[in-house]
Structure 1
């Protein structure tokens, strides 16, 4: 692998080329100098080039952010000669004396090509804005003299990353990556990342020491990083920070090569110690560590050719004491071969594993994408799916309102809202029991209270009834109750003759007694409305889920939107119509009583007979033993408490009160039936099928099926990840 300034570098090569890139009929001629010659393109080079290209494509696609990719990293102190080592590996001259390759990551890629070229660009870091000029930087030269352009391109890139004046108040490193690609006919595939040099002092105290160390150790910690740790021979190894970091992040040293530079500058005693370390004779350094020695250009050799540099290195390392080392540990050619062997061994081992991981990731992402709704179908498919869902919902609601349930809901809880008729019947029972227990404005003592709602004649559905109204009147005895009615008769007299009272007062008593009915009925209508709302919220997703994959996992969202936009407004209309019907029932309640039920006559006769019997019995006991001459109608009336005006009024009040209660019981049954039939059945259950529209317009379907911004953003993110995985898998599968 001679440099581009050498006899077989980018400026010239031997051998015959017979076609495009990668097509050669023979190996290049060996170099004249007795140094490592051009690294001939072996039979495995083409495979290695494909591997290197695949890894590079994976990095560009961003897979490196999710999975570790094989890479060689060059690290060490800022003045350890890293750039010189990298320059020797790549065999192209880098800019000197500027520090341009120590302040950001530099990725150098070598690839074979029939014609030489160099390419320099910048991958912007996360701190760069979308319009930052580093994004547009690109230097490329494909001419025979492209070697001279590389140094200039790198200088220009450095100025682009660190413009003049930057150093005065900004950190000394950037998160950009300088990408250098070198093509040549005698270039073997390899990729190396040069990291900023470690420093131990920051004069501006801007956190650069910590920032550089964190950057270097982040790359070191990646398990697929091959670490090229560069130290200088003229410095004590115990003081080399990079060696301690290698021990920390690569404890067994399996992926680290420790490179000693400037061996010609070390004193004899120090050279001997270095040799002991490299040969495993120094107990302070593990013997299994892999060491390598290189010679950098001397101070006055900056402009010498790569061939001259290689020749000087060969002569130095062939002499004592360095010739004691195995040739595989001496010189740039051996180092490159070692690095290539490690890199491609890791790649060939790990890339098939990575391919399997990416397939697993793809499956997981596809499942996640499907869970988010998948790809949006065409408007025609959506319209057909919507029509099918609405038809199913219409049929199901009609059946469920009648208590007919198919197998599609049997997996749901029996006490759930899908059993619509059951829930409405339960509400009806609670309504009936509430009316019986709380429908009257006061508690009467006329007869026994209605049966306990939770007794054997009450509701099967047991539920705590609402509390009695705060204004419900309570009487201690029946006489107290009738006395209160008597007072009302006195206070509401009209022009009738004295001791007579208008029987319309029975209606007044009934209206007052039945005043709570309307509020209880409104509550019942609201409860039925809620039952229907909950029903559609539960059953709609079931009907939409049977529409194939057109709605996908978004079916619940679409179903709930449909209920909210199309069902609930119609249910609200049903509620309003039911309340209008209830208002008409309320008008009937407040109208003059109309009774044709014989129970009213039976109750009247029974009450009158009972009162007559009580009075006769009372008078009989009172007049018992009285002489016949003393028994007259007045004595009888007095004994029967029917003599004074107050007693007559009390008796009338008792009769009116009993008539009102008999009327109340009859009207209560009729009213409960009417509320159920004319409000609940007529305006909810009978027309429940009509609540579902036959079809929807295209814009309505669009409104129902559109994705919310959060879900759409998630889908877009997953789609992008899937696209990256698909491209990455194609890269790997082509490589396999």
Structure 2
């Protein structure tokens, strides 16, 4: 099965690139094929991720707990442990210490005032119970700020999520609780904006066991109600009480299986429901997705490498007394200045446009017409 062996090595390649980008602090100028996890604050995102690993390791609490993107690289291996990119070489054997490290590392960058940061935390979890999948866990969507959070925290989170999920190379795992109205689901609404044709979105329905008596999500799971090209997978997570009582996740996954097999609405598709099936799906979808994205990614990297090599080539023969080099550098600086100046006047290209007062050309225009007329 050499073909499959090649496929299995695709996800680790992207993992290595993700680590490299994070360490360089490069704001991903290159879009890597990845899966971003999106959902409202209590949609059950953490539970879905913890069920994959079979351990509690994500911080929980009221309010916004995920305040930085968490790049979670699940890697199948014989022993269970975690490793953070920011403490290279240190093996975290105990999953509660992983939870504490995520909290501490979040506070180190965002401060304790509950703000958010775009700088990701990279965590690898090795375990015999996982398939190779890399997921980016993003902050839960929230409606309002609490305590001393910035008042526009909702906007900030939305913007952060959009920067990830608008990329063509990003698959969107939209996590929605089944006991709320699907039409108003935060995750599905955002996914629809970023992926209007529903080509990159994978739906996950949580809390199927909490639906009102006599109702079910059969139509959604059969992909008839709000269809997505990649469909929906239903899961049942542990209840809050189970989590507080530290109920073993493996028992919970067995209970989930029983729920689907014995439920009249889901019995006929029990094999396409539940956490293990979702894990398999994501491993396959991500692998295929990487395979499709690789040629373009390779081209882009090669182009960047070539242009860098050219630049290096110029410096190889650099002689400090060579006037042509100085002239060239001066010209480049002047051109750059000219571009920046034009942008400032047009008000284009700068992300930090001040919306509270006029700037650039608009300000000049006003001065001429009001003060000097």
After TM superposition, the score normalised by the length of structure 1 is 0.40
**C-alpha offsets along residues 473-499 of structure 1, whole Å, 9 cap, x if unaligned?**
xxxxxxxxxxxxxxxxxxxxxxxxxxx
CA distance in 1 between counterparts of 2:228 and 2:98 reads 40
Q: Equivalences for 1:99-498 in 2 at 5 Å?
A: 101-122=65-86, 140-141=90-91, 143=93, 146-164=94-112, 166-167=113-114, 172-203=115-146, 206-271=151-216, 274-282=217-225, 285-286=226-227, 288=229, 290-302=231-243, 303-324=246-267, 326-367=269-310, 373-376=314-317
Please say if residues 279 and 325 of structure 1, whose CA atoms lie closer than 8 Å, have aligned partners that are also in contact: no
Using a 3 Å threshold, how does the CA distance of structure 1 residues 206 and 184 change in structure 2: closer, same or farther? same
Please say if residues 223 and 231 of structure 2, whose CA atoms lie closer than 8 Å, have aligned partners that are also in contact: no
Paired residue secondary structure (1:268):
coil
**C-alpha offsets along residues 406-445 of structure 1, whole Å, 9 cap, x if unaligned?**
xxxxxxxxxxxxxxxxxxxxxxxxxxxxxxxxxxxxxxxx
Using a 3 Å threshold, how does the CA distance of structure 1 residues 107 and 75 change in structure 2: closer, same or farther? same
Using a 3 Å threshold, how does the CA distance of structure 1 residues 239 and 159 change in structure 2: closer, same or farther? same
Aligned-pair CA distance for 1:175: 2.0
Structure 1's unaligned 5+ residue stretches are 1-41, 123-136, 383-701, 716-736
CA distance in 2 between counterparts of 1:140 and 1:80 reads 32
Using a 3 Å threshold, how does the CA distance of structure 1 residues 207 and 187 change in structure 2: closer, same or farther? same
Q: Equivalences for 1:675-690 in 2 at 5 Å?
A: none
Please say if residues 234 and 270 of structure 1, whose CA atoms lie closer than 8 Å, have aligned partners that are also in contact: no
How many pairs were matched up? Answer: 324
**C-alpha offsets along residues 523-573 of structure 1, whole Å, 9 cap, x if unaligned?**
xxxxxxxxxxxxxxxxxxxxxxxxxxxxxxxxxxxxxxxxxxxxxxxxxxx
Which one has a larger percent strand, Structure 1 or Structure 2? 2
CA distance in 1 between counterparts of 2:171 and 2:55 reads 22
Please say if residues 232 and 262 of structure 1, whose CA atoms lie closer than 8 Å, have aligned partners that are also in contact: yes
CA distance in 1 between counterparts of 2:297 and 2:80 reads 33
Please say if residues 45 and 189 of structure 1, whose CA atoms lie closer than 8 Å, have aligned partners that are also in contact: no
Please say if residues 74 and 82 of structure 1, whose CA atoms lie closer than 8 Å, have aligned partners that are also in contact: yes
Q: Equivalences for 1:605-644 in 2 at 5 Å?
A: none
Paired residue secondary structure (1:301):
helix
Q: Are 1:711 and 2:329 matched, yes or no?
A: yes
CA distance in 2 between counterparts of 1:232 and 1:267 reads 12
CA distance in 1 between counterparts of 2:270 and 2:2 reads 23
CA distance in 1 between counterparts of 2:81 and 2:305 reads 37
Please say if residues 107 and 193 of structure 1, whose CA atoms lie closer than 8 Å, have aligned partners that are also in contact: yes
Please say if residues 131 and 280 of structure 2, whose CA atoms lie closer than 8 Å, have aligned partners that are also in contact: no
The Cα RMSD (Å) is: 3.2
Aligned-pair CA distance for 1:247: 1.7
Q: Are 1:55 and 2:14 matched, yes or no?
A: yes
**C-alpha offsets along residues 315-366 of structure 1, whole Å, 9 cap, x if unaligned?**
1111223424534530011111111111110111221332233223333444
Aligned-pair CA distance for 1:210: 0.9
After TM superposition, the score normalised by the length of structure 2 is 0.76
Aligned-pair CA distance for 1:281: 4.3
Aligned-pair CA distance for 1:208: 0.9
Structure 2's unaligned 5+ residue stretches are 334-373
Aligned-pair CA distance for 1:147: 3.0
Which one has a larger percent helix, Structure 1 or Structure 2? 1
Paired residue secondary structure (1:213):
helix
Higher RCO by CA contacts (8 Å cutoff, separation 6 or greater): 2
Moved beyond 6 Å, runs of 4+: 42-45
Q: Are 1:73 and 2:36 matched, yes or no?
A: yes
Larger Rg: 1
